[in-house]
């Protein structure tokens, strides 16, 4: 079944339990909930709505993650960065491999954009394929072949 070209959601939709790894919890009993709003066809990118109640915990990022805080506030401490408070409207980017200590002060809700980082050679291949697709879409197959032929000489 093909993926829908347009998907919709709402930031007030019901979320499912999404427990934080117990060994990561530092203080309190934070309860996290989430829902995947959209995912790429290859499942390497997702948009997730996430919320959490009060508590302190570690978080380890295995994907690139950009978040926008929709409601509430947090205090973050990253490796080598001082404590800083963030609230509604703030945008934070975590690179894959990052670690942060989260302190959710009462309740927080965020939207997260998760992306798998491809190894460098695969990234080059993906960009080349996308460039070829764009040439075909704009100029038709003949111009794409000419462009590829010229690029190899």
**Could you state, in order of their start, the residue ranges of all structural domains in the chain?**
16-115, 119-153
Which range, of 2-6, 42-46, 113-117, averages the lowest pLDDT? 2-6
CATH code, 16-115:
2.60.120.10
Q: Report pTM.
A: 0.73
Instruction: Quote the CA–CA distance of 19 and 126 in Å, as a whole number.
Output: 34
Instruction: Quote the CA–CA distance of 60 and 74 in Å, as a whole number.
Output: 16
pLDDT, tens digit, 9 for 90 and up, residues 97-121: 999 999 999 899 999 999 987 766 7
């Amino acid at each position: 079944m093909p993926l829908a070209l347009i998907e919709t959601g709402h930031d007030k939709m019901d979320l499912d339990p999404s427990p934080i790894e117990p060994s990561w919890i530092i203080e309190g009993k934070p309860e996290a909930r989430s829902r995947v709003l959209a995912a790429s066809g290859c499942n390497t990118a997702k948009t997730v709505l996430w919320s959490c109640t009060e508590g302190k915990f570690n978080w380890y990022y295995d994907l690139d993650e950009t978040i926008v805080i929709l409601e509430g506030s947090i205090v973050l401490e990253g490796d080598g960065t001082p404590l800083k408070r963030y609230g509604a409207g703030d945008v934070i980017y975590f690179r894959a491999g990052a670690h942060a200590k989260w302190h959710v002060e009462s309740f927080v809700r965020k939207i997260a954009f998760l992306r798998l980082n491809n190894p460098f050679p695969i990234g080059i291949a993906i960009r080349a394929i996308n460039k070829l697709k764009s040439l075909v879409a704009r100029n038709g197959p003949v111009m794409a072949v000419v462009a590829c032929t010229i690029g190899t000489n």
